[in-house]
Each structure stands twice: as C-alpha cells, then as structure tokens.
Amino acid sequence: MVEDRLRYELHFHAIVQTSVIRDSNKVTQIFQGNLARFTSDPLHQLPADLPDFTGRQEELERAIALLTTAMPSGEAAQEASASRFGITAITGMAGVGKSTLAIHVAHQLKQDFPDAQLYVNLRGTESQPLEPLDVLAGFLRAWGIDDSSMPDDLTERSQLYCSFLAGKRVLVVLDNAHDSTQIRPLLPDSSSCAVLVTSRKRLAALEEATQLDLDLLKEPEALELFQRLVGVERTQAELEAAQQIIHLCGRSPLGIRLTGGTIRNHPQWRLEDYVLDLTQEQQRIAQLRLSHLDVRVSFAASFKQLDEISARLFRLLGLLRGQNFSSTVAAALLEFEPVTAEQFVKYLVDLQLLEPASEGRYCLHDLVRLFAKEQLAIEEPTEARQAARLRAARCYMETSEIVNLALKPETRHSLAQVLTEGKHQSLEAAEQSWFLGALNWFQLERMNLLAAIEWAYQAEAWDIIVPLASNLVNFFNIYADHADWERTHLIALEASRKLNDRLGEAQTLTNLGNVYALHSAWEKASESYEQSIVIFGELGNRLGMAKTMGNLANVYCQQDDWEKASEFYQQSRVIFSELGDRYGEGQTLANMGIFYLKQSQEAEAGVLWQEALTKLPPNLPKSKRVAEWLELIQKSNPVSESSESRAQMSGKTGVKLWSPLELARNAFQWFRRT
C-alpha cells in the first residue's frame, strides 16, 4: 500500500542565513578543517596508528591469529553463511594500552579486511555510553543508507547492518565497550567478518569471544618504549635511573609515554634528578589516597613542567565533554588565534598529554581527562571557568551554523558548489560526502554542543542559546533525538523571551511544534504552531506564516479535521507561491497530496505530486520519495493530465488569501480555544 510509505515533510525554521554560504573562505576553512577526515572514505574509519608502537609482540601475534584463523577467502567469503566469525576482546586495567594495541592490530589487518574497517569509541567508561541504535545508524550511513530507509527498531536495524556485511571482508573495532549488552547488536552474522573489542572488564556474557587479558608491560618492553621516547644514548648513560623511572610509572604504557614525552622535551635534565621528582609526587599522591597511583605520578610530574599557557590549555580542556576536539575550540578556550593555539596543542601532543585522534582533532585519555578536571577545579577560578565555557559555546554556535548547511536540503547543493569550485568532482558526490562529514561532526561534538547550551543558560547568555539550539534541529531530526530536541528548545524559548526576540521566539515555537508532531503529541504541536503563527502575523513575516501553517495543516490532517487542514494547506501554498519560494511550495504540495490520498482521492493526490516534482530540486531525497509515491498510485489509478483537473487542484484559484492581521486573529482564536 502506498499509504504505508507516506511521510509528512515538516517545514523547519533556522536562524542561520543562507547568505553565509557566500562567505566562501569561512565555509571552506571550517569544512576542510573540521570535516576533512570524514569525507575521504566512510568505510575505512580507523584512527591513526602510533608510529612508535613498541612491544606487545606476543599479544599482537595472538590477536592477529585469532582474528584471521579459518577466515574464508575468495568464493568462500562470498558464500559465507551465518556461522560465527572471529571475535577477540582485549581487556585490562586503565592505561594499560588496550585501545593502542587494538588500533595497531587493526592497521596490520587492513589488507585481510579490504571491504571496510569500521571503528567506534563506545564510551563505555563515561556517564553516557553510546546506544547500539545510534552506533548502527552511523555504520549504516557509511554504507550509504539514508535516514528515510533506516529502521527505527534495534532488531531490524541490526538485521539490516548484518545484511550489508554478509559475505564481505570487514573488520569491526568496538573500542571502550561498557558491557556485552552494548556490543551484541553490533556483531556481524557472517564468518567473513571479524570483531575486535576493548573493555576494562571481562565480557563473560559474550561466550563466543576469545578474551585476551592485557597486563602491564614487561620490563624489557617498558625500557624499549622509554628509549624510543627519550633516546637510546641518553637512556643507556643513566640506565639505573631509567629503570627506576619505569618502575615509578608502574610499567604502564600511558605513564611511561607521559614521563618520556616530558623528559624528551628537556634534553638538559639528568634522569637521576627526575627520579627524585617522581618519588616526591608518588609520596604526595599516596598521602591523598587517590586512585591510579602509578599513572598519577607521571601526570603530576609532567604537568609541573608545563609553561603557563600550555598548563592553562590543559586545564581548560577538562571542561569539554566530547570524546575529542579540534584546535579551533582550543583557540577559543585560550582566546588565541587558531594558528597560535595549534602550536600549544602540538606541544601537549609531544608531551603525550594529548593524543592525535585524526587530522586536526585530538583527544585525552580518560585518565588524563580526569587529571585535567582535577587541576581545573584546583587552579582555575570560577569566573575564569565560566568565561572559558562561554568562549567555547560561542565557538560551537558559529561553527555549527556553517556545518548545518550540509544537513539542510535547501542549502546543501549551494554549499557543494562552493566547496567544489575549481575541482573535478561531481556535485552529487560532493553533497553526499559533506553530508556524511557534517553528520559525523555533529555526532562527535554532540556532548560539547549540548554542554554549550547548558553553559550559556547558567551564565544567562541568551544570545548564544537561541541560534545554537536552532542549528541542532536538523541533526536532532536525522537522529530522531527528540528528548534533546525538546529540552534544548524549551531552554531556547525561555531565552528568546528574555531577549524579547519575537522572531526567535516564533521560530523556536515552530521547531518545538515539529518535535511534538513527530511524537504525535497533537495538542502540544497545535499550541506551539498557533502561538508561532500569531507572532509571525504580528511581525508581518509571511514566510514564517507559510511554513508554520503548512505544519499545522499536517496536524489537522492527522486528526482527520479535513476542513481546517485544507484551508491551512491552501494558505501555505499560496504564500509560498507569491514569495517565489519553489522549495517551500513543493513541500506543501507533497503534503497536500498525502491529505487527498488519505481521503481516497488518488487522482487529485497524483496531480499535486506531479506539480510538487516541478518545484522541488530533483536531487533531493524527498523528491525521489514523491516520485515513488506517484509511481505507485499511477499503477493503480492513472492520473488525469487535463488542465481542468490541474485548475481544480491549484491553490491559485478560488482561494481567498488572508491578510497578516487575519492570519494572526484566526490563529489567536484557535490558540485560545486550545
């Protein structure tokens, strides 16, 4: 049935102006600086390998053997059934090098799994681990599945994921897992695939996995790592001191890297003197009864050696909640130019306090992040922390405005034209590439973006909240994140009223109505839309009225109030037509077709959908959906092409267009009744 495939298209309001696309330098800088990593090859997702990976030879060989033994190849891989695949779980204490080993193993196996290497940090040690439903959505988008084809149910989404991986040579790396429940829906059901998991705890409920327990480095391996960082000649000259340093670091790879990075940047230091520093730190931390004693010793000793600016940047990075960040945010935290901030970021990388996550992005090990937060609380005054948060929030507001252009169907094409100017690249490929890149950016920065709204609210920085919440709507809609959508927009509604920003209030109300409509909360949706129409009417904003009236018509249609639905559709369509907004008119026409089909008027629906296709850009997913609907009803009931039929259905004949005052008055009456 065609009715089963129908979906109303909502009109969204965005504070962002499409004119921002014309600032090509800013657009190019943000997209190439923040999204380049995501647009190269969506199926090969591994983070960078450590160039100085050291030791773990026994564990490395065992992991490779476990993941490749009895793996089918050639025709056997194509015909692989649902038999079990290789799955290895690397477990061990914090700082022991689980993720480093897993990523190194995965890079060694790229030729064995040429079809794809999928990677995700499941954030299992954080307060909000990733949901399997969201992880599957990211993997499926990498395979080219758009959100209109994405199942909502976890089981169905997992089955679709397994169907794509069946018979393909794919390695899936599930880093930092919380438990077996989080992992199980992410396991392929094909013997041609392999899975590599890391977790701090043993995954006993995952019976099919081979557990690989990772211990501290053996002493020769620990010394080899230290030598690689500090230098062989310097290490051998004070070998006994070097061995003491290794033991004071607990033979933890993380601790040795931090200590070695600090010593390497001070070639004039004697290792014997640094042993004394580490010993004193060990005694101090032991007295405080803090956890992770061995690595804390390395953290504290390395932190003491930082210059003032680097130390402040390290502390301020403890404010961020996302899994990694760009140097653009570091610049905002420091109030420096990006080029200057990048130098201090790279210095922290040299000291091993930061790790490169991908090109232009960096991350802190979770234990290092904890230490940064502790130093932040101790050394940074409350006012300074709040000011830094607001600088970061404003940075996210400005960046998300640009990145959001790739998510908006009506601006994506223009954006691709700017980014491909002078390049031999098809616009369609560029649109899809930047769309996926933008989705990944929002997903990576999601925690920081939500925190930015929270920070701005705490500081009563209302001017940040309203546009930032608006910039998140498309992302929330694609990911069906209705809870955060409603929460951020209720905050934005309060902010717009504090600012007496009537336009912002109306736009926020419409977007609130949209999330209520998606939840089938018709009463709340109607109330939000009606309040919005009143304000747009008072402002004389006809475009705002046309969008919101089209959305309100959808609500009436869902409630089978045909008379009101018809009137609001017609008014919306006529305003769009008079404004010359072909995109908006085409979207309303598509919704009107659903309205008529629900009343069993297939021919009329077909006429409207035919006209919608003349208005909507042909490359949009919604245009393809309308074409599919039209094809389905034409098979059962050919559409009349007569001019009389078109005239009857046209919103341009026989429709009395309300004035803005009448629109506001009528909407206000309906609002009062509600």
| pLDDT class of 346 with cuts at 50, 70, 90 | very high
Contacts of 253 (CB under 8 A, 6+ apart): 95, 96, 97, 100, 217, 222, 225
Report helix angle 582-598 to 602-615, nearest 10.
Answer: 170
| pLDDT class of 249 with cuts at 50, 70, 90 | confident
pLDDT mean over 363-386: 89
DSSP class of residue 18 equals G
DSSP class of residue 147 equals G
Query: 184: closest CA among 150, 208, 214, 160?
Result: 208
331-358 per-residue burial string, b: 16 or more CB within 10 A, e: under 16: bbbbebebeebbebbebbeebbbbbbbb
50-81 per-residue burial string, b: 16 or more CB within 10 A, e: under 16: beebbbbeebeeebeebbbeebbeeeebeebe
| pLDDT class of 420 with cuts at 50, 70, 90 | confident
Ranges 293-307, 359-373, 390-404: which has the least confidence: 293-307
Residue 196 above 90 pLDDT? Answer: yes
Ranges 255-269, 322-336, 632-646: which has the least confidence: 632-646
Tokens (6 digits) for 371: 């230490």
Instruction: Encode pLDDT of 301-324 as tens digits.
Output: 888 889 999 999 999 999 998 878
Return the higher-pLDDT residue of 86 and 577: 577
The pLDDT value recorded for residue 461 is 97
pLDDT mean over 346-355: 89
Q: How far apart are CA 572 and CA 585, in angstroms?
A: 8
Residue 449 above 60 pLDDT? Answer: yes
Residue 355 above 90 pLDDT? Answer: no
Residue 669 above 50 pLDDT? Answer: no
Sketch out the chain's domains with CATH numbers.
Answer: 57-213 (3.40.50.300), 219-381 (1.10.10), 546-674 (1.25.40.10)
Percent of the chain's residues with pLDDT above 70: 83
The pLDDT value recorded for residue 511 is 94
Task: Tell which phi-psi region holds residue 335, choosing left (phi > 0), alpha (psi between -120 and 50) or beta.
Answer: left
Which secondary-structure segment (H or E) carries 187?
none
The pLDDT value recorded for residue 74 is 46
Report the mean per-residue pLDDT for the chain: 83
The pLDDT value recorded for residue 82 is 38
Give CB contacts under 8 A, 24+ apart, made by 156-162.
157/133, 157/185, 158/132, 158/185, 158/186, 161/136, 161/186, 161/188, 162/188, 162/189, 162/190
The pLDDT value recorded for residue 186 is 95
Q: How far apart are CA 456 and CA 379, in angstroms?
A: 22
Instruction: Encode pLDDT of 159-173 as tens digits.
Output: 999 999 998 999 999
Tokens (6 digits) for 155: 């089981």
The dihedral formed by the CA atoms of 610, 614, 617 and 621, expressed in degrees to the nearest 10: 0
Per-range mean pLDDT, top range of 59-73, 113-127, 374-388? 374-388
Return the higher-pLDDT residue of 30 and 445: 445
DSSP string, 562-620: HHHHHHHHHHHHHHHHHHT-HHHHHHHHHHHHHHHHHTT-HHHHHHHHHHHHHHS-TTS
Within 151-266, residue ranges assigned H as helices are 154-165, 180-183, 219-230, 232-237, 239-248, 253-264
Ranges 207-211, 357-361, 478-482, 555-559: which has the least confidence: 357-361
Return the higher-pLDDT residue of 638 and 100: 100
Return the higher-pLDDT residue of 358 and 61: 61
Per-range mean pLDDT, top range of 97-106, 270-279, 637-646? 97-106
| pLDDT class of 35 with cuts at 50, 70, 90 | low
CB-CB contact of 438 with 406 (8 Å): yes
Instruction: Encode pLDDT of 565-598 as tens digits.
Output: 999 999 999 999 999 999 899 999 998 988 888 8
The pLDDT value recorded for residue 72 is 47
In 10 A of CB 520, how many CB atoms?
A: 10
